[in-house]
Structure 1
Amino acid sequence: MKESSKKTTAVIVILCILIVLLSGFAGYLYKLNLDSRAAETDLRIKASNEASSYRDEISNAVSEAESYSAAIDENNAVHESEKAELYNRIEDLNRQLLLKLGTNKIIYLTFDDGPSPVTPQILQILDNYGIKATFFVKNNPGYNQYMTEIVNRGNAIALHSSTHNYKKIYSSDEAFYADLQEISDIVYANTGVRSNIMRFPGGSSNTVSRKYNEGIMSRLTKGVTERGYHYFDWNCCSDDATGNTVPVERIVEASKKLPSANTVVVLFHDSSSKTTTVEALPQIIEYYSSLGYSFGVITSSTPQIHHGVNN
């Protein structure tokens, strides 16, 4: 009996020990769980704080970008407004200019390189239509007598070149002025007219002169003006210098390419090979007449048509 009681007591003691141990272990696990949750919470808080920081940075960047974009838009709007105002001002000035100039449309038919065997035919066509033209002449022995006819029929005579030799006339400023004076004297000898109207061989925009003298056109365009000359280029080209006997249709079509101005200066050539220019002339005259253009001759008071100088 006593032995059985001892066994029972031992079992109870062992159970108590186990309960204590289990309680301690459970407490440990509970504490461990609390620590783990606390760590997890700390991590979550830390992650949340970091995320919040990133969100703030992103928000700031977006706000900065939006502000920058708004500034650009505002700046563009200012520029667009200024540009629109400028365009309106230009249009207003153009309207005022047209009012001052009137709406008259005028065309100047100009012929380079004559006189030639076809000069009398050109003069006859002009007479037939009751209009006049401007002839930029060079020295053509054997045909210079037509200079007198040009003037006597009421056309304008102007200076082009004595030799029309690019290499020679554009070799130096002095060579050019010597050539210009020579053709001036020839015109005066044949007509009694001392013209101050001229056209550069190749036009003021020519680049061939660069081969012989760098920068000479920049000097000459200024120099001839200082000497009292008025030089004229053109704003409509007949294309008759692109070859000999250029098709009539091509000359007519090229001559119809109107510039954006009421004043048209058409370039033709007066030489023995330009027979198709003569043939095309009536169609061109009739075309511009149908558009209401009047035909004029170039004088020192005519608004000058200038190209951009390229040398």
Structure 2
Amino acid sequence: MAEKYWRSVRFYKHFYTSCLVSIIILPLAAAFYFWQVTAAATKPLPDPVSDRMTESGSELSRMSKNPVSYRKKYPELYVLPSEKETISENTVYLTFDDGPSPVTGQVLDVLKRYQVKGTFFVVGQNLKTAAGQEMIRRMLREGHSLGMHSDTHRYRKIYASVEAWLDDFAAVHQRISDITGQQTAIFRFPGGSINIYNASLYQELIAEMTRRGYVYFDWNVSVGDISLSPQRAEALFANVVTRSSGDSRVVILMHDSATKAETVKALPKIIEHYRSKGYSFGSLQNSTYPITFGYRS
């Protein structure tokens, strides 16, 4: 059939018809295209500032009519912000996450020996035992600062939504209040304020916690003890020295858990190093101007 069709009368009819259609359609398509381009070129450009203002106004109007539901949760979960923020130059803040743990007492012993105050961001689940409860009482008795570091430390759970975060935060807040009779206004986000688990809502989390009066702290120096393969005390000390060169205010991240014996061993050298450089040591308060990721430092 293909051989009979080739160069047959029917073949030439189809060929000439196709050519005719192309001759008619192509100029029409070209004319339509140039008409669209001309119309677009003569159309006034939108005012981006005006558009943003209109969009912002619409968003504010929508939010005012439908306030975010989580703002109504936990009406007792508010603290008065500090009247002023303090910035202490040449100051080191030693901070310990995840405790209390079996090594917390050793950390406190070192701090006591060197007459240095630290800041402990504790996990609520570690306060279920009598030993854990006594440890945070000792922290306060010896003049250290106590902050919150979540109740469960389960990233996927607490960062599932702002509501989930508030549920967890309220739990650890209540535990500390029940044990110590005091409320703390400082906290540290597990993984820091910006991490892969809260990437889609960290701004909303920060805004809500700030609105409630709480102050969060990140860090600008890490001892590096989070690694799955434990580092020796000498390596941890070297991490601190190389990462804090030239900083006037230093917030050091360390961890307080059963596997952090090398961190305890490195602590005296860290304190001695900064003292030899003329630094003082302080504990974080809600009046301390915070070191934070991407916002203020």
Q: TM-score range by the shorter chain?
A: 0.5 to 0.7
- Quick one: distance in 1 between partners of 2:162 and 2:118? 30
Q: 1:306 to 1:259 in 2, by over 3 A?
A: farther
Matched, 1:250 2:235: yes
User: How big is each residue's C-alpha offset from its partner over 1:222-244, in whole Å with a ceiling of 9 and x where there is no partner?
Assistant: 11100100000000000001125
**Correspondence for 1:118 among 78, 97, 103:** 103
**1:151 Cα deviation (Å)?**
0.6
- Quick one: distance in 1 between partners of 2:120 and 2:287? 17
Partner of 2:51: none
Partner of 1:64: none
**1:260 Cα deviation (Å)?**
4.2
Query: Runs ≥4 in structure 1, deviation > 4 angstroms?
Result: none
Unmatched 5+ residue regions in structure 2?
1-85
Matched, 1:223 2:208: yes
Partner of 1:160: 149
**Residues 30-41 of structure 1: pairs in structure 2 closer than 5 A:** none
User: How big is each residue's C-alpha offset from its partner over 1:182-221, in whole Å with a ceiling of 9 and x where there is no partner?
Assistant: 11111111212200101000001211334xxxx2111001
Partner of 1:169: 158
User: How big is each residue's C-alpha offset from its partner over 1:52-94, in whole Å with a ceiling of 9 and x where there is no partner?
Assistant: xxxxxxxxxxxxxxxxxxxxxxxxxxxxxxxxxxxxxxxxxxx
Partner of 1:133: 118
- How many pairs were matched up? 205
**1:101 Cα deviation (Å)?**
6.6
- Quick one: distance in 2 between partners of 1:205 and 1:108? 20
Unmatched 5+ residue regions in structure 1?
1-99
Query: 1:299 is matched by which residue type in structure 2?
Result: Q
- Conserved? CA contact 1:244–1:274, under 8 Å: no
**1:300 Cα deviation (Å)?**
1.2
Partner of 1:59: none
- Conserved? CA contact 2:99–2:123, under 8 Å: yes
Partner of 1:194: 183
Partner of 1:308: 294
**Correspondence for 1:209 among 198, 206, 213:** 198
- Quick one: distance in 2 between partners of 1:119 and 1:307? 27
Partner of 1:39: none
Give the structure with higher Rg (CA): 1
User: How big is each residue's C-alpha offset from its partner over 1:119-173, in whole Å with a ceiling of 9 and x where there is no partner?
Assistant: 0000000000011100000021322321111111110000111000011101111
Query: 2:172 is matched by which residue type in structure 1?
Result: I
Matched, 1:241 2:226: yes
Partner of 1:299: 285
- Conserved? CA contact 1:244–1:273, under 8 Å: no
Q: What percentage of aligned pairs have identical amino acids?
A: 40
Report the TM-score when normalising by structure 2: 0.66
Structure of higher RCO (CA pairs closer than 8 Å, 6+ residues apart): 2
Query: 1:223 is matched by which residue type in structure 2?
Result: E
Q: 1:272 to 1:101 in 2, by over 3 A?
A: closer
**Residues 38-187 of structure 1: pairs in structure 2 closer than 5 A:** 104-139=89-124, 140=126, 141-142=128-129, 143-187=132-176
